[in-house]
Amino acid sequence: MQSHIKIKFHFKCIIGILDFERRKKQKIIIKLKAKANEFLNYAEVITKIK
């Protein structure tokens, strides 16, 4: 059995190297396509991304 998933996951967080970059939350978007020869657990994939 093959599994295919497409994930578009977004969240906001404060990131940046410089001080002025760390003042405001920025939207982070992660797009992922994955396939496997066995079952892919969507919740487990999201947890590993976090």
Cα separation, 32 vs 40, in Å, equals: 13
Report the predicted TM-score, pTM, of the whole model to 2 decimal places. 0.55
Nearest C-alpha neighbor of 46 from the set 16, 6, 2, 12: 6
Domains in the chain: boundaries:
3-49
Q: What is the pLDDT of residue 49?
A: 78
Q: What is the pLDDT of residue 44?
A: 84
Q: What's phi and psi for 31, nearest 5 deg?
A: -115, 135
Q: Dump pLDDT digits (tens) for 18-34.
A: 888 888 899 999 898 88
